[in-house]
Amino acid sequence: MAEYGFDTLAVHAGAQPDPATGARITPIYQTSAYVFDNADQAAALFNLQVFGNIYSRIMNPTVAVMEERIAALEGGTAGLAAASGHAAQHLVFHTLMEPGGEFISARQLYGGSVNQFGQAFAKYDWHVRWADATEADSFARQVTDKTRAIFCESIANPGGVISDLEGIARVAEQAGVPLIVDNTLASPYLIRPIEWGAHIVVHSATKFLGGHGNSLAGAIVEAGTFDWAKSGKYPTLTDENPSYHGIRFYETFGDFAFCVAARALSLRDVGSCLAPQNAVLVLTGIETLPLRMKRHCENALAVAEWLARDQRVAWVNYAGLESHPLYPAHRKYCPKGAGSVYTFGLRGGFDAGMNLVNRVRIFSHLANIGDTRSLIIHPASTTHRQLSDEDRIKTGAGPEVVRLSVGIEDVKDLIADLDQAMG
C-alpha cells in the first residue's frame, strides 16, 4: 500500500469524487435515511453483513469521509465521528466499560473531562483513579484487577503539559489494558500517539482539526493493535451480541472491531451522532491543518518568549521554552512545536488576570481553543469553575492563571495587544 505524506493525506484521505455526480468536494449528504435495494439487502445491512448506509444516527457518507481522514492522519485502522469531543469520549468508555469497572486518567485534563470522568461516569458505576501525566509510575500504582483502560491527553489543557506517552503506554501494556489518548491539543501534525503505543485516540475536532471555531465535532481512531480477546475483560467486543443475532465483533471485524462496535452499539444506542454539515466544515479545516499548526506553534513560541521577558509576568508555562522543565519532553514527543495552548501567571494575581481579559482587543475572551483567532480565558472563573480549589490547582488552573490559545494572526499584533492590555 502506498505511504502518502501527511500533507497529502490531510487534503485527500477518505475523499474521492462523488460517484453519482462527479462533485470534487465531498457533498453534504443531508439525509436521515437511505433506501434499501430490496428486502434481502436491508436485512443484510441490519445484520452488518454488507457495508452500506441505513440511518444517519449510525452512519452518513459525508461523516464517513471525516472519519477516514482523521484515521489516516493518526495512522489508525478506522475512525468514528461523534457530535463533540465529549461525545467521542463517552462512546469509547461506553464500549469498554461495564458497571463496577475502573480506569486510570492523568489528572492534567480539560476541566470538562474531569467532570465527565468523576461525576457523569460515576452514575454508570465506572470509576476513575487519578495519576500524573509526567510520571508513568504514578499510573502503575493505580492499577487494580478492575482497571479497564488508561487515559491521558497528549498535550494537556489548560497547562500545556506534555505527557510521557511512551512510559504510560508501557504501563498499559503491562496491565493488559488499552491506552486512550486525547490528541486534541497536539493534533496528529505534532504527535501521533499510536506511534508511541496508544490503542485508541480521541479528538475534540472542535479545536485544531476543524480549526476555525465554527463546529462542534468529535472523533475516535482505533490503532488496530489491541488484542481484545486475551483478557476476557471486554465482553462488548468478544461476547455474542444479542442485538446482532449473536455475532462477536472482534472475531468478525478484526483490527477495526472497536470502531464497528462503538458505531453499531454505542452510537446506535447513545445517539450522539455528528451532523454532516459539521463534518464538511471539519474536513475543510483539516486540509490546512499542517499549515495552520506550523503557524500556531511559531506564534505561540514568539508570544511565550515575549511574555517570559516581561516584568509584569510571574511565570510562563510553555514547554517550547528552553527553560521549561518539559522542554526535553517537547523535543522528544513533538519537536515540530509544543502546541499553541498554554498558561501564564501575572504578578498582579487574580485581579490582573481579570483586567487582562477585559482589555484585550484582538484576543477573544471565550471558552474555546484551537481557533485561527487568538483566544484568552481566565480558567479559574470559567472552564474550571466547577472544580474544587484543590482540583483547580492540580489541573493547572489556579487563581492567577491566564490561558492563551495563540492564533495565526501577525504575531507583532498579538504581542502589542497583550502589551497594551496588561497595562
Ligand X SMILES: Cc1ncc(COP(=O)(O)O)c(C=O)c1O
- CA angle, corner 113, sides to 111 and 114, nearest 5? 65
Residues 248, 296, 330, 403: which binds other proteins (CB under 8 A)?
A: 248
**Residue window 9-28: x/- pattern of binding to other proteins, with contact defined by CB under 8 A:** ---xxx-xxxxx-x------
Of the pair 152, 262, the CB lying nearest other proteins is at: 262
For position 110 contacting ligand X by CB under 6 A, the verdict is yes
Could you say which of 10, 56, 78, 275 contacts other proteins (CB under 8 A)? 78
Note whether 406 binds ligand X by CB under 6 A.
no
What is the rounded CA–CA span in Å between residue 319 and residue 43?
54
Residue-wise DSSP of 318-341:
-TTSTTSTTHHHHHHH-TT---SE
Backbone angles phi, psi at 403, to 5 degrees: -110, 135
Among 25, 30, 33, 37, contact with other proteins (rule: CB under 8 A): 37
User: Total residues contacting ligand X (rule CB under 6 A)?
Assistant: 16
- Using the rule CB under 8 A, is 65 a contact of other proteins? yes
Give, as ranges, the residues between 129 and 168 that touch ligand X (CB under 6 A): 153, 157
DSSP assignment letter at 158:
T
Residue 388: φ, ψ to 5°: -70, 160
- 217 touches other proteins by CB under 8 A: no
Options 56, 134, 184, 278; binder of ligand X; rule CB under 6 A: 184
Q: Are 65 and 27 in contact (CB under 8 A)?
A: no
Q: Which is nearer to other proteins, 245 or 347 (CB)?
A: 245
* Spatial separation of the C-alpha atoms in residues 201 and 209, rounded to whole Å: 13
Looking at the Cβ atoms of 74 and 182, the one nearer to ligand X is: 182
One of 67, 182, 400, 417 touching ligand X (CB under 6 A)? 182
Q: How far is the CB of 277 from other proteins (least distance, A)?
A: 18
Q: Name the residue number minimizing CB distance to ligand X.
A: 85
Q: Check: CB of residue 336 under 8 Å from CB of residue 190.
A: yes
- Which residue from 65, 136, 171, 216 is in contact with ligand X, where contact means CB under 6 A? 216
Question: Is 225 a residue that touches other proteins (CB under 8 A)?
Answer: no
79 is a site residue for other proteins (CB under 8 A): yes
Residue ranges of alpha helices (H) inside 60-110 are: 61-74, 85-96
Which of 56, 76, 192, 197 forms a contact with other proteins (CB under 8 A)?
A: 76
State which of positions 349-388 bind ligand X (CB under 6 A). 369
Rank residues 116 and 142 by Cβ distance to ligand X and give the closer one: 116
Q: Which stretch binds ligand X (CB under 6 A): 62-70, 110-118, 314-322, 391-399?
A: 110-118
Check if the beta carbon of residue 220 is closer than 8 Å to that of residue 182. no
Beta bridge partners of 345: 315, 401
Residues 385 and 380: their CA atoms lie apart, in Å, by 5
* Count of residues making up the chain: 423
CB of 175 to other proteins, least distance (A): 25
CB 274 within 8 Å of CB 267: no
Judged by CB under 6 A, the residue of 185, 223, 282, 326 near ligand X is: 185
Closest by CA position to 138, among listed 101, 163, 121: 163
Would you count residue 218 as binding ligand X (CB under 6 A)? yes
Looking at 26, 60, 62, 84, which residue binds ligand X (CB under 6 A)? 84
Rounded to 10 degrees, the C-alpha dihedral 313/318/323/329 comes to: 160
61: how many CB neighbours lie within 10 A of its CB? Answer: 18
Per DSSP, 38 falls in state S
227 scored as a contact of other proteins (CB under 8 A): no
Q: Contact, 353 vs 327, CB < 8 A?
A: no
* Cell 489491541 belongs to residue: 226
Residue type present at position 187: S
* Shortest distance in whole angstroms from residue 158 CB to ligand X: 8
Instruction: Work out how close the CB of 163 gets to other proteins at its nearest, in angstroms, rounded to a whole number.
Output: 24
**Quick check: bond before 379 cis, omega within 30?**
no
d(CA 257, CA 239): 12
Write out the residues near other proteins by the rule CB under 8 A: 1-2, 4, 8, 12-14, 16-20, 22, 37, 41, 44, 47-53, 59, 61, 64-65, 67-68, 71-72, 76-81, 240, 244-248, 251-252, 254, 256, 259-260, 263
Binding site for ligand X (CB under 6 A): 84-86, 110, 112-113, 153, 157, 182, 184-185, 204, 206, 216, 218, 369
